[in-house]
């Protein structure tokens, strides 16, 4: 009797902390440069071209599923794509990331953002979701950036190490910063709602760089707009994953903002996350560098993550952050097989 295929997929069950037959696994940035077939498409298209062409974006999202026995697909797009709906002009620069032509770091710039997002700019993303749903049998994860992380790109104008301009705006002009956060929350609510209408079955909110904030500043400046997004998602009826890096000191506040699943990086043991939030599922958290380690080290590190999760319901295996461009493909295959074969449960 094949119970598994007729039941809710194990990824969605794990999001709800329900028992699963094996631990589900997907990989942040699973579609990307470590795959030669992705690099082949990138020879003739920029990243933004791919994001805005539903057939190409769909093809790229399917590539990792053909190679590995993954338990979910993720929409292929980029963090900044939705800000086009506010009228922000940006580009994505190779090996560095999003760059915003005119940084949004004063009252005037924030005030000139479109108040109601132009959703026609995002129709290409919704179409990618529809195409993907037709093409795959595993659940499709949609995503959006959290206000802080997306706002940091708008304020800095590009990638940053210390997020100086972002924190300066927050401290010097808190009401302008707040206005930007609330507008981004409104945008992301519309964006995720559109993805849900098009068919996503779960959503990850990336607050990748929030770990730069103190708990007090998170509470004062970021918690409320972030919580609004999770409250809106809860009404959509799909599970949500709340992800950030370097968040050990922030997790209580991030959990308060929301998320059925807390996604963490390798700097906090999963056992600690479970002990602090027994009612939430957890996602993570193998160090992406482990894929470059000698076989026996990778093997041991996978076991350590599984042991921390302790076989209890509500663990989604993932890396602690995106897979790195040169990651050896045979080690990815090994990781996916190891996670499935070491977590078989008969009940």
- Residues assigned a catalytic role: 29, 33, 42, 78, 153
For ligand CP3, give the closer residue by CB, 97 or 313. 97
Per-residue tokens: 25: 């696994």
Helix (H) or strand (E) holding 214, with range, is none
Query: Which of 14, 57, 74, 222: binder of ligand CP3 (CB under 6 A)?
Result: 74
By CB under 6 A, tell whether 37 contacts ligand CP3: no
If one asks whether residue 47 binds ligand CP3 (CB under 6 A), the answer comes out as: yes
Which span (9-17, 95-103, 220-228, 264-272) binds ligand CP3, by CB under 6 A? 95-103
By CB under 6 A, residue 90 contacts ligand CP3: no
Distance CA 302, CA 153 (A): 33
**Is the Cβ of residue 117 or residue 145 nearer to ligand CP3 in the bound state?**
145
Is there a cis peptide before residue 285, judged by omega within 30 degrees of 0?
yes
Helix (H) or strand (E) holding 74: strand 73-74
Binding flag, residue 92, ligand CP3 (CB under 6 A): yes
Question: Which of 2, 44, 96, 137 is in the footprint of ligand CP3 by CB under 6 A?
Answer: 96
98 is a contact residue toward ligand CP3 (CB under 6 A): yes
What span, in angstroms and rounded, lies between the C-alpha atoms of 204 and 193?
13
> How far does the chain reach from its first CA to its final CA, in angstroms?
14
Q: Identify the sign of the CA torsion 271, 273, 276, 280.
A: negative
Of 11 and 76, which has the nearer Cβ to ligand CP3? Answer: 76
Shortest spacing between CB 79 and ligand CP3, in angstroms: 4
Least Å distance, CB 141 to ligand CP3, is 9
Q: Please choose, out of 89-97, 255-263, 283-291, 301-309, the segment that lies near ligand CP3 by the rule CB under 6 A.
A: 89-97
Closest CA to 70 of 30, 36, 12: 30
Residue among 150, 160, 146 nearest 254 (CA): 146
Report the nearest approach of ligand CP3 to the CB of residue 2 (Å).
29
Q: Which of 20, 28, 84, 335: binder of ligand CP3 (CB under 6 A)?
A: 28
What single-letter DSSP state applies at residue 282? E
- Residue 28 CB, nearest distance to ligand CP3 (Å)? 5
Residue whose CB is less far from ligand CP3, 17 or 332: 332
* Region for 17 from its dihedrals, namely left if φ exceeds 0, alpha if ψ lies in -120 to 50, beta otherwise: left
The nearer residue to ligand CP3, 57 or 178, going by C-beta atoms, is 57
Question: How many residues belong to the chain?
Answer: 347
Does residue 205 sit in helix, strand or coil?
strand
Taking contact as CB under 6 A, which single stretch among the options 27-35, 110-118, 224-232, 284-292 is the one that binds ligand CP3? 27-35
Of the residues 8, 37, 42, 62, which one makes contact with ligand CP3 according to CB under 6 A: 42
Nearest residue to 278 (alpha-carbon basis) of 314, 250, 251 = 314
What are the two backbone dihedrals, phi and then psi, of residue 274, each rounded to the nearest 5 degrees?
Answer: -60, -40
Identity of the residue, 17 or 140, whose beta carbon is nearer to ligand CP3 in the bound complex: 140
Backbone angles phi, psi at 145, to 5 degrees: -85, 150
What x/- string results for residues 202 through 241 when contact with ligand CP3 is judged by CB under 6 A? ----x-x---------------------------------
Count of H helices and E strands in the chain? 16, 9
Q: How far is CA 14 from CA 175, 202, 262, 280, in A?
A: 39, 11, 12, 10
Which spans of this chain sit near ligand CP3 (rule: CB under 6 A)?
28-33, 42, 47, 74, 76, 78-79, 92, 94-98, 143, 159, 206, 208, 321-322
């Amino acid at each position: 009797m094949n119970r598994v295929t007729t039941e809710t997929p194990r990824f969605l069950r794990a999001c709800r902390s329900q028992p699963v037959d094996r631990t589900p696994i997907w990989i942040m940035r699973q579609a990307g440069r470590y795959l030669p077939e992705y690099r082949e498409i990138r020879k003739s298209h920029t990243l933004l071209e791919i994001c805005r062409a539903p057939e190409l974006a769909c093809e790229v999202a399917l590539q990792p599923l053909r190679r590995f026995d993954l338990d979910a697909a993720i929409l292929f797009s980029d963090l900044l794509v939705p800000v086009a709906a506010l009228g922000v002009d940006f580009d994505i620069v190779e090996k560095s990331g999003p760059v915003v032509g005119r940084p949004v770091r004063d009252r005037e710039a924030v005030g000139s953002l479109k108040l109601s997002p132009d959703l026609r700019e995002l129709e290409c993303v919704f179409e990618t979701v529809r195409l993907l749903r037709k093409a795959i049998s595993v659940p499709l994860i949609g995503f959006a950036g959290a206000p802080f992380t997306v706002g940091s790109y708008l304020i800095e104008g590009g990638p940053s190490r210390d997020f100086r301009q972002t924190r300066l705006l927050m401290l010097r002009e808190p009401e302008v910063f707040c206005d930007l956060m609330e507008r981004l929350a409104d945008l992301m609510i519309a964006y995720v709602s559109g993805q849900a209408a098009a068919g996503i079955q779960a959503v990850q909110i990336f607050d990748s760089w929030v770990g730069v904030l103190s708990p007090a500043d998170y509470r004062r400046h970021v918690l409320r707009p972030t919580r609004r997004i999770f409250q809106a998602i809860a009404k959509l009826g799909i599970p949500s994953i709340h992800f950030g890096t370097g968040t050990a000191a922030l997790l209580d506040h991030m959990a308060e903002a929301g998320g059925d699943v807390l996604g963490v990086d390798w700097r906090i043991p999963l056992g600690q996350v479970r002990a602090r939030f027994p009612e939430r599922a957890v996602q993570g958290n193998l160090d992406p560098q482990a894929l470059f380690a000698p076989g026996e080290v990778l093997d041991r590190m996978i076991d350590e993550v599984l042991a921390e999760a302790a076989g209890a319901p509500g663990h989604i295996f993932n890396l602690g952050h995106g897979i790195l461009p040169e990651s050896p493909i045979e080690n990815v295959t090994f990781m996916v097989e190891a996670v499935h074969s070491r977590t078989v449960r008969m009940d």
